[in-house]
Amino acid sequence: MLKQFYPKEYVDSTYQIPFEDYYKKGIRGVIFDIDNTLVPHGLPADKRAVELFFKLRETGFETCLLSNNKEPRVASFARQVDSRYIYKSGKPSVKNYLKAMEMMNTDKETTLFVGDQLFTDVYGANRAGIYSILVKPIHPKEEIQIVLKRRLEAVVLYFYKKEIQKGLGRHD
């Protein structure tokens, strides 16, 4: 039952993902959440984010920002990193994950999703059949509804990590 929320990978930071390796494996599009995935909640794109998107484009990737936030926030960030975007996306609904792939001219086999929340980001990507990477939130300060979700996420992540350890043959 919890497996529908499990990411394919769980990493410390978006900025540690070896995107070039995914490109070599045939990935051509990356869908990103913004807040606490690329920058702390509500902040503009920083140098690191701008450089990441430049490097992704240089490698040959298409990108799309997929956010439940309102258009002014998402459009402003998208301009800063020069990316397509979808605002008020309704994650975890599959509809806009599919729209993002259409915008990038990719499909579920050639698309990667990166986000910081299990119940919206990862669950939606999994439902859409997209390879999902969960990153740790950049900053601990979050809105109250997200703080409450994080407590539930901690339970899911506990079982996810147990399963990963079991799969690797480790025993605690």
User: CATH number of the domain that 98 lies in?
Assistant: 3.40.50.1000
In a domain, 150, yes or no: no
Determine phi and psi for 115, rounding to 5 degrees. -155, 170
* pLDDT level of residue 172 (50, 70, 90 thresholds): very low
The mean pLDDT value for 130-144 works out to 83
170, pLDDT greater than 50: no
Residue 47 within a domain:
yes
Cis peptide before 92 (omega within 30 of 0): yes
> Within a domain: residue 66?
yes
Put the strands of the sheet holding 9-11 in their side by side order.
9-11, 131-135, 111-115, 29-32, 62-66, 84-86
pTM reported for the whole predicted model: 0.87
In a domain, 161, yes or no: no
- Here the tokens at position 146 are 């997200």
What domain count does the chain have? 1
| Residue 103 banded pLDDT, cuts 50, 70, 90 | very high
Domain containing 105 equals 2-140
Using DSSP, state whether 99 is helix, strand or coil: helix
Residue 160 in domain: no
Has residue 166 been placed in a domain?
A: no
Query: Which H helix or E strand runs over 13?
Result: none
